[in-house]
Every structure is written in C-alpha cells, then in structure tokens.
C-alpha cells in the first residue's frame, strides 16, 4: 500500500518540469494519488497537458487565480470527473520583476504590492474557499509553498517577503477554520530552487551559492526533496499536523553564523 492510495489531488502551479508543483505531483503520483492540474493561460495549456499526461491524468483546467470566475469554474469542472477530492496544492506566486531587486522602498508601488498579495496569498484562501465543499468529509489536506523571506529580511526578495508573511498567516487561519471539518492546512518553506518564478528574483545565483556554502547539509534542495515532504504532509501519516510551516531547505534557516 502506498502513502496516497485512494487520494485525489488538485495541483495548482505547474509551469514547467522545474516547477516545485511538478516535484510534488510526481511524488504524489508515485504514492498512488490520482491527479488533476490547472494552467494559468492558453499559452501554458499544451505544456501542462503534456506533463499531466506523464501522470496518467487527463483533467487539466484553466485557472488564473486573479479571476474569481475561473476559480469557481475549476471546481465545477472537477465535479464532472470527481464527486470529491482530498488534496489541494497551491504553488503560485507573482511579483513584478522590478520589485524583486534592489532597494525595497525605491522599487515598491501600491499596484505591485496589491498584485503580489493577490496572486501569492489571497489566492490560497480563495481556492480553499471554493474547494471546501468538494473536500467535505474527506479528512483532506491543503498545502502551499513559502520562503524564509517571510520572516527574515534579505536582499531582493522585497515585496514578496511581505506576501509570504501574509501567506503563512493564511496557513494558520485556514488551519484554524477548516480543522473542525477534518481538513489540515500546512506550508512548506523551500530553499531556493532554480525555476521560472525564481528567475525573476535579482541575483538568484548568489542565493544558491550562499545556501550551498552555509546550510548544514552544504547543498541546495531539489524539487524531488520538496515533493516527498509534500506527499508526506498531505498523507494520513501526517494526520496530527496542521497550521505548520515545514522547512525543506537543507537546514539553512537554523543557522545563525558560519565560518568558525
């Protein structure tokens, strides 16, 4: 018996083979889950369909998380295939490239702040709200992806650090709200990984080098390593865990000083 036999998971946030959501999808499929995917726009559709096919999945639906109607439509569409589902993966974030580099204040705008928070945090609660009915009575699990820039200041991450702080509070409020229905809500705080989204962050290469030199495990993490923890957190093996942010970062977050 595998970890996720009999579970159905909706994966939001696959953009490429490098996506963290793809690492999670592969781990979940390997552990027996049935999958469904969303794509952000028509340009992404063929790419996501191709990846979904590799997971024996033919449920691929549009979802731009800035559009309330599309969020509702995801679950109406899903309802044509599944009468319920068990797992929701939210692996979505966006901020303007100009706001992910340089001086935090010089580059911050009201519009950029709202956009980053809308796509990267509000969407998590919006998807949970729209999917709640279909997760009813399933002892389900909801998972999002965050980064340590939520709790520590660091170069270039800027407005996304604020959005991730909001997202992590979202994890706790959703866990508190959905816990009585048996739904668990958690976040993974991943170390830096080279993906399309990461390419928008100024000097990303330097972040990777710094982690490799200073993390206790002296390496960067892979989407497979994050995927495995995601599969565990969404399985019944983690039935007692909710409202938590779990670090998958080769231990980097526990280091105060290195070099001695």
Which residues are catalytic, by number?
147, 157
Q: Which residue has the tokens 């959501």?
A: 21
- The strands making up 60-62's β-sheet, listed across from edge to edge, are 60-62, 34-39, 8-12, 87-90, 141-146, 184-190, 245-248
CA 51 – CA 200 distance, rounded (Å): 23
Which residue of 3, 10, 11, 13 would you call a contact of ligand NAP, by CB under 6 A? Answer: 13
The tokens for 32 are 């027996």
37 binds ligand NAP (CB under 6 A): no
Which residue of 55, 65, 88, 134 would you call a contact of ligand NAP, by CB under 6 A? Answer: 65
9 binds ligand NAP (CB under 6 A): no
- Nearest-approach distance from CB 120 to ligand NAP, in angstroms: 6
The tokens for 228 are 């495995």
72 binds ligand NAP (CB under 6 A): no
Site for ligand NAP, residues 147 to 176, rule: CB under 6 A: 147
Nearest one of 4, 12, 66 to 29, comparing CA atoms: 4
CA 72 – CA 247 distance, rounded (Å): 31
87 binds ligand NAP (CB under 6 A): no
- Nearest-approach distance from CB 87 to ligand NAP, in angstroms: 16
Contact 93, 119 (CB under 8 A): yes
Which residue of 3, 28, 78, 92 would you call a contact of ligand NAP, by CB under 6 A? Answer: 92
For ligand NAP, the closer CB: 26 or 146 = 146
Contact 174, 124 (CB under 8 A): yes
* Angle in degrees, 0-180, between the axes of helices 20-30 and 223-233, rounded to the nearest 10: 60
DSSP string spanning 150-199? GTS--TTTTHHHHHHHHHHHHHHHHHHHHGGGT-EEEEEEEPP---TTGG
Q: Which stretch binds ligand NAP (CB under 6 A): 10-18, 75-83, 98-106, 228-236?
A: 10-18
Which residue of 187, 192, 227, 230 would you call a contact of ligand NAP, by CB under 6 A? Answer: 192
For ligand NAP, the closer CB: 199 or 237 = 199
Q: Which string of x and - marks every residue 113-132 that binds ligand NAP (by CB under 6 A)?
A: ------x-------------
Beta bridge partners of 37: 11, 60
227 binds ligand NAP (CB under 6 A): no
94 binds ligand NAP (CB under 6 A): yes
What is the contact surface with ligand NAP in residues (CB under 6 A)?
13-16, 19-21, 40, 44, 63-66, 91-94, 119, 145-147, 190, 192-193, 195-198
């Amino acid at each position: 018996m595998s970890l996720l036999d009999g579970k159905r998971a909706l994966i939001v946030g696959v953009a490429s083979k490098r996506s963290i959501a793809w690492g999670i999808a592969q781990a979940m499929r390997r552990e027996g889950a049935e999958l469904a995917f969303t794509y952000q726009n028509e340009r992404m559709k063929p790419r996501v369909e191709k990846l979904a096919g590799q997971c024996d999945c033919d449920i691929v639906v549009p979802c731009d998380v800035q559009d309330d109607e599309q969020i509702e439509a995801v679950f109406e569409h899903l309802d044509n295939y599944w009468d319920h589902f068990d797992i929701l993966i939210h692996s979505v974030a966006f901020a303007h490239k100009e706001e992910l580099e340089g001086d935090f204040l010089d580059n911050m705008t009201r519009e950029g702040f709202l956009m980053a928070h809308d796509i990267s945090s509000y969407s998590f609660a919006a998807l949970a709200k729209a999917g709640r009915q279909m997760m009813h009575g399933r002892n389900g699990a909801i998972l999002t992806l965050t980064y340590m820039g939520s709790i520590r200041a660091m170069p270039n991450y800027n407005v996304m650090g604020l959005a991730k702080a909001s997202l992590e509070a979202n994890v706790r409020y959703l866990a508190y709200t959905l816990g009585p229905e048996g739904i668990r809500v958690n976040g993974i705080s991943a170390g830096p990984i080279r993906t399309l989204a990461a390419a928008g962050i100024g000097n990303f290469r330097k972040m990777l080098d710094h982690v490799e030199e200073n993390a206790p495990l002296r390496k960067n993490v892979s989407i497979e390593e994050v995927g495995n923890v995601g599969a565990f957190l969404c399985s019944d093996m983690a039935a007692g865990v909710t409202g938590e942010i779990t670090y998958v970062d080769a231990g980097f977050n526990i280091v105060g000083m290195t070099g001695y």
